[in-house]
Structure 1
Amino acid sequence: MMKISVVIPVYNIEDYLSECLDSIVNQSLEDIEIICVNDGSTDGSLDILKEYESKDSRVKIISQENKGIGNARNTALEYAKGEYVYFIDGDDTLELDALERLYDLNIEKNADFIIFKISNFNGETGERINDEYYTMPYLKDRVGEDAFNYDDVRDMALDLCVCSPGNIFKREFIEEIRFPEGLLFEDNVFFTHAIFKADRILFYDEFLYNRRQRPDSTSTHLTVKSLDTIEITNLLLDLCSQFNHPKHKGALYYRIFHNIYNIFKQADPSQKEEFFERIKYEYLKNKDKWESDDFFANNLKDEYRHMFNCAIKSKNATRFEKCVDSFNKESKLQKVRNKIYEII
């Protein structure tokens, strides 16, 4: 069995792909396979992949119609034969000794998966960007170099950095874990499932992955696809039920209502009607499921219940916004009344 399967989804990244591939084919650990899923690229990405395939027998190309990064990664997992699996995005790079260091650490500590630090840089200027979300100093303070599991970090489990290229997984550990397909933020479900399931996780306090921040990235633009977070969070609610971790439901409903309304408020006025229609559709689709959940029925904040009701009852974006904001205005008025009563 080879040591590591490296998975690279590829979609229209001809400007960055060679740099990524160079960082993988030149790894100090040579016993790897490199599975490149050409996800319907229409630029020169496939030609670049074929060039590398002709020079390095470890490079394998799978071509398919465009189905998104979640599907591309799942496709690669069906072919992966390595003892461990590493996912990298095709516009980023990995330190040249990263896989060797991670493999050796895995062998020494027998981890289900390892989390390590990510270095972000501006794709236009090359400037490094400091971001504690990707370095997780709070996780280092909690666990140090010791193996841990969900019970050791339950209070921060849903606040850890979610970025698949910042992890390496034992392949047999993720045999039953897959990425949701056709949705943005697919990493959240895969990573949370792994956190809930794992017996032994390690935090490696080293920068091994270089993440390019691009102005044209899907993660930097606010579009109606940003509302995929509703369905993603629904899947996280399912995991909480599956693993009996109901304590996270409050934070997840916060994402479904509070965060979603913030996205709606920030949307361009020309897009608000489209955003509202998607929100209403998702809320109505999940109405029965949420209302049958004990937390939703008995512990949901009044503010979130109001947002939910406003969405399903309003006829358009304008009425939805006025309805939600009426609760906020009333809350402010009530706070003023309470202060007056305290003075009296």
Structure 2
Amino acid sequence: MDTNATPKEHRAAPAVSVVIPVYNLEGYLTPCLESVRGQSFADFEAIVVDDGSKDGSLAEIRRLTAGDGRFVVLPTENRGVARAREAALAQARGRYVCFLDGDDWWERDMLERMVAAIEERGGCDIVCGNYIRVCATYRAEVRERRTADLEGLGYLREVMTFGIAPSLWGKLFRRTLFDGGLKHYPMRRGQDTLVNIQIACRAPRVRFIDYAGYNYLQRPGSEIHSRLSFDYCRSYAEAVDDIFGRNAARLAGSEADLCRTVNALWWYIGYINRSSNPWRGDDPYVVRLRDEAARHRHALNRYFSRGELLMFDFDRWRAMRPAVILLLTLRRWRTSLVRRMAH
């Protein structure tokens, strides 16, 4: 482990531990790390994990953090973002922890605003804010749909039904939420949601602030734009089932079954949204999902459009695949038109 400061055991614990995973982001690190160095709230440590980058990311991290004792540089072998975050959390000493991807950056008062919010009115466990989507041709603030404070299993419902963004970034967490058996699933996508689901099972107190301090870069080649496979949908659902099984006593009598169905259906609709993906409507996993959706049919109308549910209904028959593709095309045209009118 590299460090720019005195040994860990001789350093005072900071208020916030910032976790920054990096993999092959040499050309994006300057705005990210400089935005952390320039925070108006200075009582933090930043743990930058180089996840076995093949480019010059590690050298760039060392250059950008040289001389600043708040930064710890942690080189590891390539094991994926979930394991990189896990390695950083093992080193974290702050009362609170937040996450920043290596190609994104913060506004100068991000930490100041988030720490003030988590400590006001007797304190809470998680603070969520809005964020700014940064594309090649525009920037747009994305506001959370759910903005009322939450307690109990309310956070579970909102994370799994996408009432709030299921990302780890853009939030500030009490560090103790990550203690005691939290499992980091090394999934290609959706790792943040799986961690948030586990945290939500602990019934945290959650506060929302009307503030956008996180800049989320949309770039070609990032994981969010990668192809969504059917096997991934099935494996992801198995991970959720594992979490629910380990937390069965906490979830008894809740809306957990509905939340699980909504979440699984969201990913599968994402799969059939790609017209190039092969038809899998007769797979036993999809048949079970269809049965679960039938049990919650009325409630699903709150979370999915008529077009999405119609696509899912048509997907049961291979012969209806052309109709599904037609619906997909119409939805893409509509989405494109709305975006053009907005910008």
Q: TM-score, normalised by structure 2?
A: 0.72
Tell me, yes or no, if the aligned pair for 1:184 and 1:226 is still in contact at 8 Å: no
1:91 aligns with 2:103: yes
1:321 aligns with 2:318: yes
- Residue equivalent to 1:119: 132
- In terms of mean alpha carbon deviation, does 110-119 or 156-165 score higher? 156-165
SS in 2 for 1:165: coil
Deviations for 1:201-257, whole angstroms, at most 9, x for unmatched residues?
A: 111111111111113222123x25575233223333444452236634345335546
1:227-246 map, 5 Å:
227-241=231-245, 242=248, 243-244=251-252
- Residue equivalent to 2:209: 204
Residues 39 and 153 (structure 1), Cα distance of their counterparts in 2 relative to 1, 3 Å cut: closer
- Residue equivalent to 1:263: 271
Query: What one-letter code is carried by the residue in structure 1 that aligns with 2:220?
Result: P
Question: Structure 2 residue aligned with 1:23, among 10, 35, 43?
Answer: 35
CA distance in 1, matches of 2:156, 2:23: 36
1:168 aligns with 2:176: no
1:192 aligns with 2:197: yes
- In terms of mean alpha carbon deviation, does 195-204 or 17-26 score higher? 195-204
CA distance in 2, matches of 1:160, 1:245: 23
Residues 59 and 226 (structure 1), Cα distance of their counterparts in 2 relative to 1, 3 Å cut: farther
Q: CA RMSD in A?
A: 3.5
CA distance in 1, matches of 2:189, 2:202: 23
Query: What one-letter code is carried by the residue in structure 2 that aligns with 1:171?
Result: R
- Residue equivalent to 1:128: 139
Question: Structure 2 residue aligned with 1:149, among 151, 166, 172?
Answer: 151
1:8 aligns with 2:7: no
Residues 168 and 154 (structure 1), Cα distance of their counterparts in 2 relative to 1, 3 Å cut: closer
Tell me, yes or no, if the aligned pair for 2:124 and 2:206 is still in contact at 8 Å: yes
SS in 1 for 2:268: helix
- Residue equivalent to 2:115: 103
Tell me, yes or no, if the aligned pair for 1:184 and 1:229 is still in contact at 8 Å: no
Query: What one-letter code is carried by the residue in structure 2 that aligns with 1:160?
Result: I
Query: What one-letter code is carried by the residue in structure 1 that aligns with 2:233?
Result: T
Once the 2 structures are TM-superposed, how far is the Cα of residue 192 of structure 1 from its aligned partner?
A: 2.0
Residues 24 and 229 (structure 1), Cα distance of their counterparts in 2 relative to 1, 3 Å cut: farther
SS in 2 for 1:211: strand
- Residue equivalent to 1:139: 146
Structure 1: which 5+ runs fail to align?
A: 312-319, 327-344
- Residue equivalent to 2:44: 32
CA distance in 1, matches of 2:22, 2:318: 39
Tell me, yes or no, if the aligned pair for 2:34 and 2:64 is still in contact at 8 Å: no
CA distance in 2, matches of 1:226, 1:56: 45
SS in 2 for 1:82: coil
Give the total of aligned pairs.
Answer: 289
Tell me, yes or no, if the aligned pair for 1:149 and 1:195 is still in contact at 8 Å: no
CA distance in 2, matches of 1:43, 1:233: 34
- In terms of mean alpha carbon deviation, does 181-190 or 87-96 score higher? 181-190
Greater Rg over alpha carbons, structure: 1
Larger helix proportion of the pair: 1
